[in-house]
Amino acid sequence: MSTPLNESANDATASPGPILRPKPMRCGGTIFFKVEEIIFEVPRYRFAEHSEAFETMFRLPAGEDGTAEGRDEEHPVVLESYKAVHFDALLKVIYPT
């Protein structure tokens, strides 16, 4: 017994059905941090995913001058009292290769 699905699968001239594509992954851009004198540019999605504070920060509108903290290298999120080596270690945990 043959079904319409089987018939089209066996017909070499039939065009294939729609191609199913995975949902696109949206990382949401990058964020810039300044720790000591080093600027780190990292994908921001993990920070938003694991921190309510960062998630809220990312939703804030830009200031009157059009800038927002962390959106570019000239206006990074400045992390005072932290060591760059420790922040780098955190990034290796958050974004394993």
Position with higher pLDDT, 37 vs 14: 37
Q: Cβ–Cβ contacts within 10 Å for residue 54, how many?
A: 17
pLDDT for position 37: 93
CB 92, CB 46: distance < 8 Å = no
Domain ranges of the chain: 30-97
pLDDT for position 23: 52
pLDDT for position 38: 95
pLDDT for position 74: 92
pTM, two decimal places: 0.66
DSSP, collapsed to helix, strand or coil, labels residue 38 as: strand
Q: pLDDT for 28-60, tens place per residue?
A: 688 999 999 999 999 988 888 888 888 888 888
